[in-house]
């Protein structure tokens, strides 16, 4: 193996000047690039179907529980969703420029653009964290902590008074130190079948957004590694598949959000429009 590999590495060296640019089992840098590119698209195909399972569940339950899903969606803040959409799209722009820099062979520019992408991605997650914290106070986490009666009541109060801090007694609850729901609210939920339906909405909301967030965090990790390599000039106009691939991945994450935004945030936006 050693002998043969050396031979092939030698060939690559002669042709292009950088040993790492061409793995031994490829014939040309074009073949290698096209293989990597196709592989990434194939991976994204599986991602489409991976999220597709959740979108299928969403479609069915939304069809079955249309009214409650709209009311539940109304609890979310479409303004924050819209801001986050634009933040994430902006991070896609910076990512596009990172790939462009790789095509031009500008190593330091790759690092800078990827850094910007991480910053705006983190801003997105920061806003998301704020939303989730608010959601915890409304008791819409789909656990035993969930309370639909409380959520609707506090949401209606919030619409008028904006008093996020005046949510009843300051007791430690399930997450984010949210207040504990009084027993009569739990009693009221148990008699209301809509509570279960709303809980399903929030289950879908949290699983879809957290799966999306998980993808972003994985993206941060990959980008960090690529930044280190790029800093040392590892990528050239002949070999930038990793940069291009993380770019495709990041745009895919953006795509998912483009659909999550109307499906989750805008579904009930018309209900709250008058306030």
Residues in 125-184 at the binding interface with another protein, rule: CB under 8 A: 142-144
Instruction: Classify 250 as helix, strand or coil.
Output: helix
Phi and psi based region of residue 146 (left: phi greater than 0; alpha: psi -120 to 50; beta: remaining): beta
Residues in the chain: 275
Query: Please, which residue, 23 or 163, has the CB nearer to another protein?
Result: 23
Tell me how far apart the alpha carbons of residues 78 and 275 are, in angstroms, rounded to a whole number. Answer: 14
Give the CA angle between residues 43, 256, 135 to the nearest 5°: 130
239 strand-pairing partners: 236
**Binder of another protein out of 122, 123, 127, 266 (CB under 8 A):** 266
Q: Across the strands, what pairs with 236?
A: 239
Return all residues near 93 (Cβ < 8 A) that are at least 6 apart: none
- Give the burial class of 262: count Cβ atoms within 10 A of its Cβ; 0-12 exposed, 13-18 middle, 19 or more buried: middle
C-beta closer to another protein: residue 87 or 111: 87
Query: What character string, x for contact with another protein (CB under 8 A) and - otherwise, covers 74-103?
Result: ----xx--x--xx--xx-xx-xxx--x--x
Residue nearer to another protein on the CB measure, 67 or 172: 67
Query: Pick from 10, 20, 31, 171: which binds another protein (CB under 8 A)?
Result: 31
Q: Does 221 bind another protein (CB under 8 A)?
A: no
Compare residues 34 and 159 and give the one whose CB is closer to another protein: 34
Taking the CA of residue 143 as centre, how many other CA atoms within 13 Å lie in the half-sphere pointing to its CB? 9
Residue 169 or 191: the one with the smaller Cβ distance to another protein is 191
Tell me how far, at minimum, the Cβ of 220 lies from another protein, in Å. 18
Residue 18 as a binder of another protein (CB under 8 A): the answer is no
**Minimal distance, residue 258 CB to another protein, in Å:** 5
Q: Which stretch binds another protein (CB under 8 A): 122-130, 180-188, 195-203, 213-221?
A: 195-203
Q: Does 109 bind another protein (CB under 8 A)?
A: no
Task: Please tell me what DSSP assigns to residue 215.
Answer: H
**Stretches 170-178, 181-189, 212-220, 246-254: which one binds another protein (CB under 8 A)?**
246-254
b/e string for 11-37 if b means 16 or more Cβ within 10 A? ebeeebeeeebbeeebeebeebbeebe
Site for another protein in 46-65 (CB under 8 A): 46-57, 59-61, 63-65
Query: By C-beta, is 150 or 240 nearer to another protein?
Result: 240
Report in angstroms how near the CB of residue 70 gets to another protein at its nearest: 10
123 binds another protein (CB under 8 A): no
Query: According to the binding rule CB under 8 A, does residue 219 interact with another protein?
Result: no
- Is the four-CA dihedral 117, 118, 123, 129 of positive or negative sign? positive
Q: Are 83 and 148 in contact (CB under 8 A)?
A: no
Smaller CB separation from another protein, 133 or 196 = 196
What DSSP designation does 165 have?
T
């Amino acid at each position: 193996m050693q002998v043969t590999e050396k031979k092939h590495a030698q060939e690559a060296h002669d042709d292009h000047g950088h040993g790492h640019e061409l793995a031994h089992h490829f014939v040309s840098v074009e073949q290698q690039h096209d293989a990597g590119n196709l592989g990434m698209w194939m991976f994204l195909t599986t991602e489409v179907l991976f999220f597709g399972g959740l979108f299928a569940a969403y479609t069915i339950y939304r069809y079955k529980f249309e009214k409650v899903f709209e009311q539940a969606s109304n609890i979310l803040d479409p303004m924050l969703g819209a801001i986050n959409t634009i933040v994430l799209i902006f991070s896609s722009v910076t990512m596009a420029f990172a790939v462009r820099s790789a095509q031009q062979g500008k190593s330091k520019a790759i690092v800078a653009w990827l850094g910007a992408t991480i910053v705006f991605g983190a801003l997105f997650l920061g806003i998301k964290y704020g939303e989730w914290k608010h959601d915890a106070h409304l008791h819409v986490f789909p656990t035993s902590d969930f309370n639909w009666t409380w959520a609707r009541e506090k949401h209606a109060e919030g619409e008028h008074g904006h008093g996020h801090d005046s949510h009843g007694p300051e007791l430690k609850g399930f997450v984010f130190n949210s207040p504990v729901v009084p027993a009569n609210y739990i009693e009221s939920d148990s008699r209301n079948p809509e509570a279960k339906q709303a809980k399903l909405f929030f289950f879908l909301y949290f699983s879809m957004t957290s799966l999306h967030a998980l993808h972003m965090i994985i993206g941060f990790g990959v980008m960090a590694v690529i930044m280190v390599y790029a800093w040392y000039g590892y990528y050239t106009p002949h070999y930038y598949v990793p940069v291009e691939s993380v770019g495709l991945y990041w745009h895919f994450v953006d795509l998912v959000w483009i659909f999550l935004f109307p499906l989750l945030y805008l579904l009930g936006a018309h209900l709250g429009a008058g306030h």
